Amino acid sequence: MRYSLKFVLLLVMFAAAGLGHAQAQSTDTSQKQEPAPPRDPLPPRDPGPLPEPVPAPAQKPEPAPQPAQNPSSQDDRPPAHDPLATDPTAKDSPEREPSKKKSKKKHEPGPPSETDKPPNYDASDAASIVPSRLLRNIVIDQRDIWTAPFHARIHDLNWIVPAVGLTAGLVNADAELSSRLSTTGTVYKRSSTIANGGLAALVGIGGGLYLLGRAQADDHKQETGILAGEAALNAALVDEVMKFGFRRERPTDGTGLGRFGQSAGSNSSFPSNHAMVSWAVASVIAHEYPGVLTQLVAYGTAAAVSVTRVTGRNHFSSDVVASGVMGYLIGRQVFKRHHEVDVSDSQFGVFDKPEKPERLDPSDSDSSPYVPMDSWVYNAFDRLSALGVIPSAMMGVRPWTRHECARLLEEMPEYLDDTPEDDSPNDEALRLRGALAKEFEIELEGGEGPYVAVDSLYARVTGISGTPLTDGYHFGRTIVNDFGRPFEKGLNSVTGFSASGSTGPFGFVMRGEYEHAPSAPGFSQSVLDALSVTDERGAKQQTSPIPAFNQFRLIDAYVMLNMKGWQASYGKQTLWLGPTRDP
């Protein structure tokens, strides 16, 4: 049986929390020994029909008799008082609704009352460390988690489709990405330590908040600790069930292809237990304390745990991405289900955050797909840069996002000559800007929103009659800047598609194609002998023909995250980092 560090920490946290609850329960019992004094019966608000007044010639009749001003009823009643102001158990009236707001930090003993909780609060769903109620809440959580797919709505496709598409793309690229990771560097050796330490830190923060809340009588900290542990247990249960269902090989198993249904259930690579539990705990902490610094620390730690599980070759990239999404959703579900509505959300980590921040520019928070490297727009921007009308463009770092391209077009009028002379470059710049404005019309008008779309379907046929150069290391290549597509003498073809999606700060891009290249004879023996001498290989190679290439290949498959205007991407992506192109 496997007992990992995270389960030991969870058991310790709940044991300490249970001791704290037992002590608190005994204290509450001692405080309830003295019975509360009986309350005086409340006077009825409606005094009923008033007796007929005694006629008196010197008195003027009252225009509108009031219960508190009637002489006949005043003698039969106790002194006037407001029962809502003196009796804490009286029901609140609509006009006294604001008086219900109070802090739960100072809990004073007293008789139970309907005003202890808001009218829409269900006490049975509250976070609790009592074993019976905790078990009940976990059962409810598991029911909600496993039945969630049957309650999906149409607008949920805005994030379901990108998540599923990204995971499918990463599964296809997992073997290649994992094979490129070094197994001898410092990152590989320290990855397991960082992952275990990050997970222990998140679980420890949850347990520490609960114990600190018990010491300070702070219900909010106690709730955060309980829900963090509850989310971790829910994530661990979901992870173990899914492991037995998928049984995926780990990167170090077999040939490293990550085949499904080939591994022992408890050792399955998909999903990642570390990633799912970390993101579940981080989600609860970030929802309870929605400050910028708190979210940065919580989600940053969870992201570090996920990345190090990949760099340590414990999991594939698709394992941690899918597990992170599921863990975040589990934590959010636990928070929404059991968060007490009368516990105010603290703002730990907030420096200067308004209650409702005004959204000025969609590009500050919405993800934007990158323009493909072989798009015509880069040639147009190259010319505009040469004309000096987009001086802020970073020409040596590509690809650019669509929002960045729109920003460059918006800054152009500032650098155009207001008084052009004959043969001015303004005419050419304006023509190029008009063509680019049609391409980025949605971004310029600010009308973009959540979407999933197929961006392009394309096919290309290339016929080569002579003998091409295909060895770029020794001789160069006949066709360059072509994503490494294979080609040989004869008919070469490429058929592919590109798709992208975006919803809020999250987005994805996928581009794949089926490539064909005919077979060809290999290098002659004399050429191979010369290459062996040049490369100092020693042993001579034998000539052999080059087989035909017929294979589907992913060109790009990555996910994007926009954080306050800073966009990051993860996955297989074509990059250009240099001042010039290949010769």
Blockwise average pLDDT, block size 10, the chain, 583 residues: 41 43 43 45 47 49 47 43 43 43 41 40 71 88 88 79 82 84 84 91 91 88 91 92 89 85 82 92 92 90 92 89 91 88 57 44 73 90 89 87 90 72 70 91 81 90 91 84 89 94 89 93 84 74 83 92 85 79 51
Question: Would you list the domain boundaries of the chain?
Answer: 5-23+127-338, 362-445, 451-577
Q: Kindly give, in sequence order, each residue whose CB lies less than 8 Å from that of residue 289, ignoring residues fewer than 6 positions away.
A: 224, 345, 346, 347, 348, 349
Output helix, strand, coil percentages for the chain, rounded to the nearest 5: 45, 10, 40
DSSP secondary structure code for residue 362 in this structure: G
Q: What is the pLDDT at residue 445?
A: 84
Extended strands (E) in 112-230: none
pLDDT tens sequence across 454-501: 989 999 999 999 989 888 788 888 888 888 899 999 999 999 999 998
142-154 burial code (b ≥16 CB/10 A, e <16)? eebbeeeeeeeee
DSSP codes of every residue in 296-327: HHHHHHHHHHHHHHHHTTSS-HHHHHHHHHHH
**pLDDT score recorded for residue 545:** 87
Q: What is the pLDDT of residue 419?
A: 45
pTM of the full structure: 0.46
Within a 10 A sphere around the Cβ of 287, how many other Cβ atoms?
Answer: 22
Q: Report which of 458, 460, 552, 478 is spatially closest to residue 520, judged by C-alpha positions.
A: 478
pLDDT of 155 reads: 77
Using a 10 angstrom Cβ sphere, with 0-12 exposed, 13-18 middle and 19 or more buried, the burial of residue 232 is: buried
| pLDDT value of residue 497 | 93
pLDDT at 358: 45
Q: What is the pLDDT of residues 193-245, one digit of tens each?
A: 999 999 999 999 999 988 988 888 888 888 999 999 999 999 999 999 998 88
